[in-house]
Structure formats: structure tokens, C-alpha cells
Chains A and B, each alone.
Chain A
Amino acid sequence: MFPQFGATAESLSKASTAVFRIGTDAHLYDDPDDVNIAPLLDSKFDSEKCEALKRLLALISQGFDVANFFPQVVKNVASQSLEVKKLVYLYLLHYAEKRPNEALLSINYFQKDLGDTNPLVRAWALRAMAGIRLHAIAPLVLVAVGKCARDPSVYVRKCAANALPKLHDLRMEEHASAIEEIIGLLLNDHSPGVVGAAASAFTTVCPNNFSLIGRNFRKLCEVLPDVEEWGQIMLIGILLRYVIARHGLVKESIMFSLYNKDHSNLDEDEHYVTSKEDAGYATEKTVSELTRTIFQCYIEGPDEYLSRSSSTIKVAPKLDESQYTSCSNEIVKILLQCTSPLLWSHNSAVVLAAAGVHWIMAPKEDVKRIVKPLLFVLRSSPASRYVVLCNIQVFAKAMPSLFAPHYEDFFIHSADSYQIKELKLEILSIISSDSSISFILKELQDYIRDPDRRFAADTVAAIGLCAQRLPKMAITCLEELLTLIRQEFLCGEIRSLDGEEGVLIQAIMSIISIIKLEPAIYEKVIIQLVRSLDTIKVPAARAMIVWLLGEYCSLGEIIPRMLSTVLKYLAWCFTSEELETKLQILNTITKVLLCIKGEDSWTLRKIWTYVIELAERDLNYDIRDRSRFLKKLLSSNLESQNVEEENGESQKKDQKRVVAECIFGVQTKTSTVPSEPINDRFYLPGSLSQLVFHAAPGYEPLPKPCSLPNIDQYDGSDKSDLDEVDDSGTSGSSDEENASDYSSERSISGSSEVSGSNETVSGNEGENNDDPLIQISDTSNVNENQNGGDHAGTSGFSDLMSTKSLESWLDEPSKSSKGSETEQSGVRRSSARITIGNIGSRIKPKCYTLLDPANGNGLMVNYSFSSETSSISSHLVCLQVLFENCSLESMFDIVLIDEDSSKSVDSTDQISQAAENTVKSHIDKPALVSMEEIPSLEPGQKAKRTLLVRFHHHLLPLKLALFCNDKKFPVKLRPDIGYFVKPLPINIEAFKDKESHLPGMFEYVRSCTFNDHIVKLNKESNSLTEDTFLVICETLALKMLSNANLSLVSVDLPVASNLGDASGLCLRFSSEILNNSMPCLITATVEGKCSDPLIVSVKVNCEETVFGLNFLNRIVNFLAEPPVTHS
């Protein structure tokens, strides 16, 4: 009637949903790419950038690859808006590993952010930087983490702890000790939040470095309740492992059964044992066996355990008394005390972890305190309920008495998932005891009528298990099962409902398992079952009943008498049976035939022949085969009976009979519950492996008890870190600590004597003097000088390593500048300066092969980096390329071009345009200034060309294509970071001034050994002592200058150093980075005896951090290289 109203209502509702979605990001998720994202990213408005980034995130979450926006996104790292930053970080971390080169570009911004005053910015920067996962920046991240580990903000320190596993993940063995050092520092943090994160890092990085724990054990225990819940989970595990490794297991705990092989001991305090009759003892024994298996698994790891048990005899490596401690042990007490309140945690994972500790370590009578908390956890989410039940199941197996009084908690709710129902049923059957079984049975009877038939079938199986556990109740259970079967067929035709069949089959299986316990009592039950054959139609159930008949055919008095009737019935309905029943009928008749003697045997034989004949003509080949087999096997038997004890009883026939009797096991032995070898796998409580039943990668069993050396200092609370006796992992660090203390002391004493002479001579550098000139400025205070030289190295180190100074972050700028001042003055005051003259002419740049004649049809191309710098662009590096024709034919048109240049010239035009816009994009694009073509090269002829190359990255090789005779050879040009700089000729004062502006983050130190001089010294063994120093200086300088484009600033020698001791020798080089002219200063300080390999500690000061670090690595690498023997 009013259609317009209806329409309004509809549009209104639409509008209301629209209103509801206004202001959300719905439109961004729905169509993320309906606008052009690229220009938005370059927008100068933060809101537009945000929108673009959100669209990218939406694309990511929808599974699109938007990595191609990477360069543009990275640029926005510099944004001041925190939201933009956060979104960029989200994007960056998603793709960083795919685009390492571009990711590197963001490092400088992170570095800047690390110095921000806002802790949130610092933390984010650290998280993003550590998350990028590039080997190239790992040392840088390590430095940053080291600093952030001393940050005043708890949040930043926490992030630092979380960053350590990221570093560890890069598998850099050389940094392992530094990482562990930082973990130690963070574990000692006064804020519980940080300790928790550090505990997690410890577990991932160095789970067995117990010395870190030993130091702080008491403190960690005290702080445990205040740690965040997630950290608690980790920390509990660590403390448990530590105590076992250090003090061993507890004598009063359940674990003690490992040592004590006597079962009776275990049974003592388990009350239900005493009320048990002999028959129950068998199961009891298996329980204690199981307990031992479980704990053996905890210590050894199940794979080890199983391989041993399957191989030969079970020789458990018996733990001796010494590997046990008493629960009166102080440390064990503390551990139990600090974990027990955690059983009240609202986080179920914490509860389970704490319960695990008590399970393993607590005295037997105290273990029960874990029960209630565990049961309470069952009330939390269904997912965690499943996990907890899996663990309870193991606990209950090992110690059923623990949970026996709480059977009600395992009663099943209809809303439980199937897995949970299954677990609860199993636990119920494990913990059932004489006092509770009647309640449990009542409950189980209810479950049988549950609409979920699979669950009902499981319930029936559980009833069978209960009966086996408690033989007293067997009859009650049996009656229950029999009524069930009667009911099942009462409800008429069992229709195609497979569930129903399952229940029936399971019921009969349970009955059989009960009968097995003591067949003699249950004769009537067997008869009852056999009588019900007429009504039971399920083939599997029929087969089982037939089997039962055969198995117990000679039992009691009634069964043998009814045999012939029953077998006649079976023979009569043979043709209409299913396969499995048919097979079973064949078996059973054979069995009966073999074991029954007397008046019936004739009838039986007739039935047998009849059935065999039927079977021989069956449609199924299995049945035909079986019948033939049986016929052959029993033919002798039948004959022998025909002939009735006559003389010619052949040996062969007798054998056949024996075989037949063996196969069909005529003797009905009173079987007991076979104590099968326990082949279950057990893993530590609360572990993932326990849920998936295999050792997940990274799973570790408990440490071997008492595997830690016995050192008194462990467990100490107030021990200072320094007098710790450590393993090799941390010994290095404590050395460094000493060094750092030492150096800071020195710097103070040095600064008090600043008024040194400043008449140090600026050497006669330019002169081409063959004789080196040593000028002695000040002979006093030799040691001071040495320390001054040292200081450069150690101060850098202390920044990296020191565990002491939390305050260093705060007053670092002042301190380090002071340090360099003192150093400056120290050097000025008391050093001799050496001038090495003709070094320039002796520099031999290293030659690399670009193409060897084997691959290049006889064309050999070598290249070396030249110390010249390009006049065209500061981004170009000069190379000398030497072409040589080694073949016998001449070559034409040799040219070397960029591989990508096939993308034609116009693309380079674009590049140059782009280069004007942004700085980054033109760094990305490698370029090769086109080389002058070599028109022809005769055999044996050489040609030299200078090449100008723009490497897009200073670590990755550049792909080039070499054309020769119209053939293309792909070649790779490896960059040498040593030539990404050009010499910066400055004097020593300027050097020191620049150096003082580049402290802290911009300073990196590494050490290496240097051997080159030894060869030289051996050659000139007759020379004077001064010459030894000189040779060292020369070889070192030469090596440096031959491998990198540097300028030598100064060489300082400790004036009155001992003969043959080169310590304190200090060489300074300067350079500037080609493309941005930032200075890059190198100081190499020598330590050690002249005649031995020297330790050279190289320090690089450079504002461009990534570059600086890579440069340092390169220097250290080439210094450590064996000397090149010059011709």
C-alpha cells in the first residue's frame, strides 16, 4: 500500500549500516586498490600516506604481494608521525627478507630513532631493526640491543630482550657470547617485566648455559611471582632444569622410583593397593613399571629410551644415590616455594608449568597439591581444557591415586568435544577405585544412551577397562554389558546405523576381555552369548562370538555338550555369512575338532568335511585358500583317527598334528593380563611433544641430574658478577669487564695530566726519503702512551660488552668525548712518529679474475680497483681492467656492458630523471659508464681499459655482460668496499678532531691477527730492532693501502717500548665515502710480540653505520689473509 515507506525503511537500514561503518577502515579493506597507491605514498600529508599504507596492509592481509612498493614505503620511515611509522614498520617487517637491499636503506633512520627521547620510538625502531633479519646489519643490531639493554625505559629493555632471539636466529656464532652476555645482564634486571622477556630469550638462545642462572638463582626465584605471566612460564622451566642439572632429583619424589627398583616401596602409601586382592597386583605392577618408564623418558627423551628397550635387555642407566638430593635441600625448597603460589595463576599455562615442577620435584605426599589447580583449569577455555586433560592423563597413569578422589570432575558434559570426551573416559577408567567404581559405572551407563554412538561405543570399552582394573567389579560390569547386548537386539533390526554396530562390537570385545581374566567363572556368559547368535546380525560381532566358542570349547561341562548343535547351526547358515564370520567358523570348527575327543568326534568330522566342501566352492578366494590349507593340515589327523592307533603312525603325520595344535592352540590356558612392554611415548608435562606424540624440533628432555660441576659460588644471591667462575662462554666477557674498568680508570688519570707538550712534530710526510724518520717527542710516561693507544680499542669494546654500567647510556656522550680527549693528549705527549716514505710506490692493488680463459674461449680478463677517483660522478668507482688474449686466434669487438642495458637507453633516461627526484632510486640503479670498445686483440696481446662502475650495493656483485666475437659471457663484478672511499689527506689534528665527533654509535671495533710481517722479518733477520718495528709498520700500512683506497695519516710508536714488543703501535688512515663525502677514519692498533702474530684491533669511525661496519669487516678480513708473496 505504501511502497515508498518500505523502500525508505530498507534504505534507512542500509544507511544505518553505512553510518556504523563510517570512520572505520572498511572501505580500505573492501577495495584496497581502487585508487592509485603510489602517488599517495609520495604525498606530503601524513593522512594520505596513512591511507596508502593501510591499503597496502589490506592487500597483504588479502594475500596479495605488494612488495613492489617497497622503496616508496621505506622512504616513509623518516616520517615524524607515529602512526605512519607504525604502519611502515608493519609493512617493512612483512617484506624485509624479500627485499634486503632496500631494507638496508632504512637502517640509518632506525639508528636515528634509537636516539630519540621517546622510549616508544626507540623500542619500535629496535624491534623493526632486529626484525629485518639481515646478516649485514646484525653486528649493528647487536650494538643497538646492547645499548637498549641498558635503556632507562623498562619497555625498551623488554624489547631488547625480545630482539636477542631474532639475532640468535641469524646463526652468527661469533656473536653468541655477546648475546649471552646481554641475556645475563637482562636476567639480572631489577624490573620483573624485563626478567620475563629475558627468560624467554634464554630458553631460545642458550637453554643450557646454566651459569647465567646459577648466579641469580635466588633472585630469580624471589622475582618469579612478579614476572609477567608469559615470562613465568619460561622462567619456571629454566629454574627446574637448573636445579636438576645442579642438584639432581629429589629422593622423596616419585622420580625416586628410578633408583629404587623395589616395587613394594612404591605401593606403600598408595591406599588402594592395600585394599586390593592378589589379582589386582598385576595391574599395580604395570603401574609402577609405567611410572618408571615415564620418568626415564623425562630424563632421556623417549627416542633414546625406546631404542634401548627395543634393542636388547632393558639396562636402564641406573641413577645412583649421588644423583639424588633430599627435599630438605635449600635450593629445592626455594624452587617449590616460589612455584607453589603460581598454581593460583589465572593463566592456565602458568598453572601447568608450575604443576610440572611439583610433579617432578615435590615429595610424594606433596604432589597432591597440584591436583585441585589442574582440575580448576579444566573450567577455562575448551582448547586449554584439552591440553590439560592430555597432561592429567599421563599423571593419572603414573599415579592413579592422585586423581581417584576427584572422579566427579571427569564426568562428561554433553557440550564437550569428542576429544575431550575420549580423554575423560580414559582417565575415568584409569582412576576408578573400589570406592568410586559404583558411581563411575552408574555414570557410564548414562553415557551409553547418549545420541553420539561413537562416544557410546567408547564408553562400553571404558567399562571393559574398569572391569579389568578392578576384578571385584567385573561381574557387575559384565551384567551391565550383557543387558546392553540384549537391549541392542531388543530394539530389533540393527539398521544401517554404523554407530549402533560399533556399540555392539565394542560390547562383545569388552565382554571377551573380561572373560579372559578368568574364563572358568564365566562359562554361563559364553553360553548366553552363543545362544544370542541367532539374533545378533553384525558380522564382526558374530565372528567374535564364534571365536569365543572355539577358544573355550573344552571349558566346563555344558559347552562341550552343546558344541555339536551349535556347530551344526553354524554349518547350516555358513553360506549366508559374511567373509569374516565364515573364516572364523572354519577356524573354530577346526579347533573344536582338534581338541574334542569322544563320542561327538564322528559328528564333528562330518560337519567339518561339509563346511570345508562348502568353503572350497566359495566365491571368495580367501575362504577357498583357507579351506584348502585346513584340509591339507588336518588330513593326516583325520586319517590317523580312522586307522585308530595302528603301528604305521608316520613321523610326518605326527608333525602335522603338532603344527595344527600349535596353530590352533588347543590348550585353553588361564591367561593373565599380559604385562606388555610399555611402548607409549612420554614427554615432559606441558610440552607440545606430549600432545603430538613425537619430539617436536627443539624438544629437550630434562638435563642429566647433577651434570653441572659443583661450584660453591652457584646459587649465591649476593655474589658479584666478577668473581664468578665461568665456563668458556662467559669467561671472555668478564675479561672485557676488567678491561673496561681499567680503561675508564685510565682515562681519568690521563685527563688529570692533560698539560702535555704539544710540540709533536708533523712529520716530513711529503718527502721522498728512503730512510724512515723517527722523532721522539716525549720519553716520559711510556705506559701512559700505551694505554692511550689501547683506549681507543677498549672503550669501543666496553660500549659493546660491559655488563656493569647501566648509566653508560645516559652519560655516554660526555664520557666518550672525554675519553677521546685524553687519548689525544696522551698520544701527543708521548709518542714517536714514524714516517714511511716510499710506500706509495710499493702499493700493489689486488687483482681479481673477471673471466678466465677456460670459460672465455681464451680471453682472460682481470680487474683491479684503482685508487683514482672518477671525475664524472662521485658514485662511480674506477677499475683497471686488463684484457689478454690467451688463445691463438685474434679477437674482435670486445666490450663490457651492463647486463640490464638491453633494456635500452630510454630506461636510463628515466633513471636519470628519477635520480633528480629522489636520492634512493638512483642508488638502486647500477650503471656502467660505457667502456671504450677494443676493436681487436691479437693472440698474446694485452689491452688495458679503465672502467667506471656504479655499484648499487657495496656487498652484492654486479652482473655484467662481456661481448667478444659477438658472443656474450655473463660475468660478475665483485665490489670491494675498500674502494668505495677515496683518500682524505688530512693531518693528525684534523683526524683527531673528526674522530671526536664520531663517538659511540658511529664507532666500531674488531680485532684480528696479522701475520704478514713474520715472513718479512725472517727474510731480514739480521736487521736492527728499529727495523723490526719499521717492517711491521710497513707491512701493515702496505696491506691496508693495497686493499683499500686510504690515505695514511700517521704512524705512532710507543717510544720506549721493550725490545720485540710491538704493543701500542698505532696507524691512522683517513678516507671519505665516495658518494656522500662523509669521512671514514680508521685506526689500527697493534698488540703482541714483534716476532709472533700480532693482534690488530681496528677501529672505524664513520657516520654511515652500515657502511662503516661492512668496511670494518672487510679490513679485518684482508688483514687476516695470508700475505701475498710479491714477485
Chain B
Amino acid sequence: MLQCIFLLSDSGEVILEKQLTGHRVDRSICNWFWDHTNSQPNSYKQQPVIASPTHYLFQVCREGITFLACTQVEMPPLMAIEFLCRVADVINGYLGGLNEDSIKDNFVIVYELLDEMIDNGFPLTTEPNILQEMIAPPNIVSKVLSVVTGNSSNVSDTLPGSTASCVPWRTADPKYANNEVYVDLVEQMDATINRDGVLVKCEINGEVQVNSHITGLPDLTLSFANPSILDDVRFHPCVRFRPWESNQILSFVPPDGQFKLMNYRVRKLKSTPIYVKPQLTSDGGICRLNVMVGMRNDPGKTVDSVNVQFQLPPCILSADLTSTHGTVNILSNKTCTWSIGRIPKDKAPSMSGTLVLETGLERLHVFPTFQVDFRIMGVALSGLQIDKLDLKTVPYRFYKGFRALTRAGEFEVRS
């Protein structure tokens, strides 16, 4: 079981230390960890499981903050990693963003959260809804209140009722004037286009996000028009397995507020909504680069936030790039970003320019990979459709809303 959790800043400073068991872990382990990490080449840095001379270390990095956990005994490593991810998520949710300052500013809350989330190295309460009832998140009202009254208790003095119920994820008996459920399909498209311009791999990783505000203890069922296209699924603990196994129906008692009901995957899609065609020709120490972006199949909605990003190979000394649409930015670490925004209807935007190679190098032998980003509102590209959403056990009417969104995930074009 975990013995200790450290939060490290991006400079290796220990922001927080939380001992979990009687076997104290000295914080000098952080120095070892930091030296070890810095002695590794760059791409090795984020090794999730490290065996140090005294402890096994698990690390998860989020926004420059390293969550480091130590143990000395056998335990499922994924459990430690998942837990650290959960801690990062919860703290992120509480503080509205992760950074060194926000953690330092609210260190007491982080301490209290950690204490509640893990007991003797074993996770205790990790459901964000319940945690919010036990420890109040810092918000403007409480801040002002604490300044005015000088009293700043953020610890609830009663146990959330849901810890005792059979649906531990749900706040006990919320009351709402307007009962409403919003279901969002949020999809990410992963695609790989190889150097020949062939679509090697294209799949959708989607999430069903639900935002529910319903009085009482509702029992919802959600069914899809075409569940057969789903290649694989993962569920929030509230989903019952049986109805899904037999009829592919999602039956659940939702947590209160925003949550992720389900993840799904649809593989082997045939096309992408946009195309990106890079061309590199090099000769005599100069390389010409030309990238074209355009719509392939019109999804019916506008494609916006289009963004192409790539890393210039190390052998390139300088680059001069211009675009017909959008702006091009080259950072000092040779990352080049071309932000296009919305693709215009009439002509395909393109970026072109020259790259100067290192002296002595005739032509380019390594080629960059272009990462593409886009967003399409109102469409789930996988074609998944929600059939209906029913509410059982509660008699009154409620408002339901559905939305869809597709974003680029790991969308890569090689050149």
C-alpha cells in the first residue's frame, strides 16, 4: 500500500508531503527522484514506475506538478497510478486548475482532501461529489465570507448521507426547482495518415457526459439507436451491467451534477472530415515545405479551431513560413504552430516556406509529424445516436437536452 504522497513543483521543490502510514518516508527520496529524472534523457523523463534503492515510486505529471507516491511492498501499480490521477483530477476540480501557486494557496484544503481520499495507503473516498460535501471547495463566496467573519471552516461537520446508501456516488436527496438532464456526446477522433497519404488508422474515442439535476433518487435509462457500432465500452460505476449485457441499454442512478457516464470506442472509420497534405522537398541544403488543409467530406457543420502543429527536426537551422490563412508561430524549441481557425468555404488554406538545413547536410532525412486539431460542434462523427432517455421511479416531468461535439484526438499526419 502507498506510504507517502509528495507534490513536487516543476523545479523539484516539494510543495506538499502527506505521510499515509506509520512507516515514514523521508523527503530526501524526492531529491533522489529529481536527480534521477534529470539524469535521464528527455524522452525517458516520465517513467511512471521507478525502483529507487529504498522505495518504489509512482509518478503522474499534470501541468508541471508531479504527483509522487512511494511504497515498499508489492501492490497493483495501476491502482497507485489511477489513484494519483484521481487525486490530480479532484484537486484540479477544486482549485479550478493545477499550478504551484493554487496548491500553495489552498494547501490546507489539499491536505484535507488527501486525508479523506486515502486512509492507511488505501483509497477511501474518491467520488468527487461526496468529497465536495465533506470538504467545501474554495469559492468566491466562502472566501469573502471568511474575510468578513474571520471564520473559515471548510470541513463539513456531518457525514454525507450517501456514504451510507447503496448508491455511494449520489448526493443524498438533492432538491431542484427545474429538473433537467443534459447528455453530451463528446468524441475525439484519432487518426494516423502515413507518409504516402494513406489513412492507416482512424477511430473515435467518445464519452457520454451527463449533467443531471434531478430531485430525489431518479432511475434513468438511456438507449442508443445503433449500439452495434460501438467497439468497446467502459462505464461509470453507476451503470448496471446486466441491462447492458442483455439489451445494450444503459440503466443507472446518476450522480448529481456533471459526470462521465461512459467511454466508447468506434474503430476502423473510413474517412476524416478534413485533410492535411504536407509536402517537403529538399535539395542543396534548402528544404521547401508546403502544407495544404481542406475539407474532405463536409460534415454539415462548420469545422473550427483548426490548428496544425509540428516539431521542426533538429537539423534545421532556420525556417521562414507564411500562410494564406491564419497565423504561423515558431517557438524557440522549434515547435511550429499554424492556427487556422475556421476553414474558409471558397479556398483551401495553405502554408509554405523554406527551411534552411544545417551546413553540410544536402537533404532532409528525418521528417516531422503534423498534429492536427479541429472541432466540430453538433456532430458525433462516429454516427452514434441517442435513441431515448427515460426516467423511472420519479413521477414528474423533466427537461432533457442532447448535444454532440467532435474534436481531434491524436490526429497525426506524417510527411
Near A by CB (< 8 A), chain B positions 322-343 give none
| B111 surroundings in chain A (CB, below 8 A) | 57, 61, 90
- Closest residue on chain B to residue A379 by CB atoms: B205
Stretch at the interface among B121-129, B179-187, B214-222, B398-406: B121-129
Query: A24, A47, A54, A131: which has the most chain B beta carbons within 10 Å?
Result: A24
Near A by CB (< 8 A), chain B positions 59-91 give 59-60, 71-79, 81-85
- Closest residue on chain A to residue B143 by CB atoms: A23
CB distance from A301 to the nearest CB of B (A): 12
Residue B275 at the chain A interface, CB threshold 8 Å: no
CB distance from B325 to the nearest CB of A (A): 25
Near B by CB (< 8 A), chain A positions 265-314 give none
| B157 surroundings in chain A (CB, below 8 A) | 82, 118, 120
Kindly state the separation between the CA atoms of A372 and B266 in the bound complex, as whole angstroms. 12
Using known A-B contacts A131-B22, A381-B85, A492-B360, determine if residue A352 contacts B78 with beta carbons closer than 8 Å: yes
- Closest residue on chain B to residue A53 by CB atoms: B108
Q: Is the CB of A386 within 8 A of B49?
A: yes
- Closest residue on chain B to residue A132 by CB atoms: B22
CB distance from A928 to the nearest CB of B (A): 34
| B241 surroundings in chain A (CB, below 8 A) | 225, 341, 344
Q: Mark interface residues in A736-751 (1 if CB within 8 Å of B CB, else 0).
A: 0000000000000000
| A1006 surroundings in chain B (CB, below 8 A) | none
Using known A-B contacts A47-B151, A386-B48, A687-B74, determine if residue A349 contacts B79 with beta carbons closer than 8 Å: yes
Residue B235 at the chain A interface, CB threshold 8 Å: yes
Residue A393 at the chain B interface, CB threshold 8 Å: no
- Closest residue on chain A to residue B144 by CB atoms: A23
Using known A-B contacts A127-B119, A163-B120, A345-B235, determine if residue A414 contacts B17 with beta carbons closer than 8 Å: no
- Closest residue on chain A to residue B151 by CB atoms: A47
Residue B56 at the chain A interface, CB threshold 8 Å: yes
Kindly state the separation between the CA atoms of A96 and B21 in the bound complex, as whole angstroms. 11
Q: Is the CB of A697 within 8 A of B74?
A: yes
Q: Is the CB of B76 within 8 A of A688?
A: yes
Using known A-B contacts A133-B22, A381-B60, A388-B78, determine if residue A47 contacts B143 with beta carbons closer than 8 Å: no
Q: Is the CB of B75 within 8 A of A83?
A: no
Kindly state the separation between the CA atoms of A386 and B48 in the bound complex, as whole angstroms. 7
Q: Is the CB of A119 within 8 A of B107?
A: no
Using known A-B contacts A93-B19, A387-B81, determine if residue A341 contacts B245 with beta carbons closer than 8 Å: yes
Residue A453 at the chain B interface, CB threshold 8 Å: yes
The one of A346, A349, A419 in contact with B237, judged by C-beta atoms closer than 8 angstroms, is: A346
CB distance from A276 to the nearest CB of B (A): 26
Residue A875 at the chain B interface, CB threshold 8 Å: no
Q: Is the CB of A23 within 8 A of B74?
A: no
| A165 surroundings in chain B (CB, below 8 A) | 1, 120, 122
Q: Is the CB of B150 within 8 A of A384?
A: no
CB distance from A786 to the nearest CB of B (A): 44
| A197 surroundings in chain B (CB, below 8 A) | 122, 124
Q: Is the CB of A419 within 8 A of B245?
A: no
Stretch at the interface among A326-334, A444-452, A653-661, A671-679: A444-452
Using known A-B contacts A63-B14, A118-B158, A696-B56, determine if residue A58 contacts B365 with beta carbons closer than 8 Å: no
Q: Is the CB of B119 within 8 A of A449?
A: no
Kindly state the separation between the CA atoms of A87 and B192 in the bound complex, as whole angstroms. 51
Kindly state the separation between the CA atoms of A695 and B73 in the bound complex, as whole angstroms. 10
Near B by CB (< 8 A), chain A positions 35-56 give 46-47, 50, 54
Q: Is the CB of B138 within 8 A of A24?
A: yes
Using known A-B contacts A133-B22, A197-B122, A383-B59, determine if residue A688 contacts B74 with beta carbons closer than 8 Å: yes
The one of B49, B71, B267 in contact with A387, judged by C-beta atoms closer than 8 angstroms, is: B49
Residue A366 at the chain B interface, CB threshold 8 Å: no
CB distance from B280 to the nearest CB of A (A): 10
Chain A at the B interface: mostly helix, strand, loop or mixed?
Answer: helix
- Closest residue on chain A to residue B236 by CB atoms: A346
Q: Mark interface residues in B226-250 (1 if CB within 8 Å of A CB, else 0).
A: 0000011111110001001100000
Q: Is the CB of A446 within 8 A of B414?
A: yes
CB distance from A1087 to the nearest CB of B (A): 38
| B138 surroundings in chain A (CB, below 8 A) | 23-24
- Closest residue on chain A to residue B15 by CB atoms: A61
Q: Is the CB of B194 within 8 A of A446?
A: yes
Residue A229 at the chain B interface, CB threshold 8 Å: yes
Residue B263 at the chain A interface, CB threshold 8 Å: yes
Using known A-B contacts A22-B143, A25-B108, determine if residue A131 contacts B120 with beta carbons closer than 8 Å: yes
- Closest residue on chain B to residue A236 by CB atoms: B76
Q: Is the CB of B76 within 8 A of A169?
A: no
| B265 surroundings in chain A (CB, below 8 A) | 376, 379
Query: B164, B363, B410: which has the most chain A beta carbons within 10 Å?
Result: B164
| A47 surroundings in chain B (CB, below 8 A) | 150-152
CB distance from B368 to the nearest CB of A (A): 7
Near B by CB (< 8 A), chain A positions 118-176 give 118-120, 123, 127, 130-131, 133, 153-155, 158-159, 162-163, 165-166, 169
Contacts between the two chains (Cβ within 8 Å), count: 300
Residue B177 at the chain A interface, CB threshold 8 Å: no
Near B by CB (< 8 A), chain A positions 13-42 give 21-26, 28-30
Residue A413 at the chain B interface, CB threshold 8 Å: yes
| A133 surroundings in chain B (CB, below 8 A) | 22
Q: Is the CB of B104 within 8 A of A26?
A: yes
Kindly state the separation between the CA atoms of A137 and B259 in the bound complex, as whole angstroms. 43
Near A by CB (< 8 A), chain B positions 124-145 give 124, 126, 134, 138, 142-145
CB distance from B403 to the nearest CB of A (A): 21
Kindly state the separation between the CA atoms of A54 and B367 in the bound complex, as whole angstroms. 54
Q: Is the CB of B144 within 8 A of A352?
A: no
Using known A-B contacts A169-B22, A696-B74, determine if residue A382 contacts B46 with beta carbons closer than 8 Å: yes
Q: Is the CB of B76 within 8 A of A22?
A: no
Q: Is the CB of A233 within 8 A of B163?
A: no
Q: Is the CB of A25 within 8 A of B106?
A: yes
| A491 surroundings in chain B (CB, below 8 A) | 361-363, 365
Using known A-B contacts A131-B22, A345-B235, determine if residue A29 contacts B107 with beta carbons closer than 8 Å: yes
Q: Is the CB of B78 within 8 A of A349?
A: yes
Residue B176 at the chain A interface, CB threshold 8 Å: no
| B201 surroundings in chain A (CB, below 8 A) | 408, 411
The one of A54, A83, A345, A692 in contact with B234, judged by C-beta atoms closer than 8 angstroms, is: A345
Residue B412 at the chain A interface, CB threshold 8 Å: yes
| B365 surroundings in chain A (CB, below 8 A) | 449, 487, 491
Q: Mark interface residues in B95-112 (1 if CB within 8 Å of A CB, else 0).
A: 000000100111111011
Q: Is the CB of A86 within 8 A of B143?
A: no
| A419 surroundings in chain B (CB, below 8 A) | 44, 47
Query: B101, B237, B363: which has the most chain A beta carbons within 10 Å?
Result: B237
Q: Is the CB of A492 within 8 A of B120?
A: no
- Closest residue on chain A to residue B84 by CB atoms: A383
Query: B15, B41, B108, B366: which has the most chain A beta carbons within 10 Å?
Result: B108
Q: Mark interface residues in B166-208 (1 if CB within 8 Å of A CB, else 0).
A: 1010000000000000000000000010110000110001000
Near B by CB (< 8 A), chain A positions 87-130 give 87, 89-90, 93-94, 96-97, 118-120, 123, 127, 130
Q: Is the CB of B163 within 8 A of A155?
A: yes
CB distance from B200 to the nearest CB of A (A): 6
- Closest residue on chain B to residue A356 by CB atoms: B76
CB distance from A231 to the nearest CB of B (A): 9
Residue A1028 at the chain B interface, CB threshold 8 Å: no
| B1 surroundings in chain A (CB, below 8 A) | 165, 200, 204
| A22 surroundings in chain B (CB, below 8 A) | 143-144, 147
Q: Is the CB of B17 within 8 A of A384?
A: no
Kindly state the separation between the CA atoms of A942 and B360 in the bound complex, as whole angstroms. 102
| B48 surroundings in chain A (CB, below 8 A) | 382-384, 386-387
Q: Is the CB of A57 within 8 A of B108?
A: yes
What are the 7 A-B residue pairs with the smallest beta carbon separation, nearest first?
A23-B143, A418-B43, A383-B48, A349-B78, A341-B241, A698-B73, A133-B22
Q: List 10 A-B contacts (CB under 8 A).
A: A61-B15, A93-B19, A120-B159, A197-B124, A348-B81, A417-B46, A418-B43, A451-B313, A453-B366, A454-B43
- Further pairs besides A25-B107, A491-B362, A688-B49: 4, Cβ < 8 Å: A29-B107, A118-B157, A411-B200, A413-B412
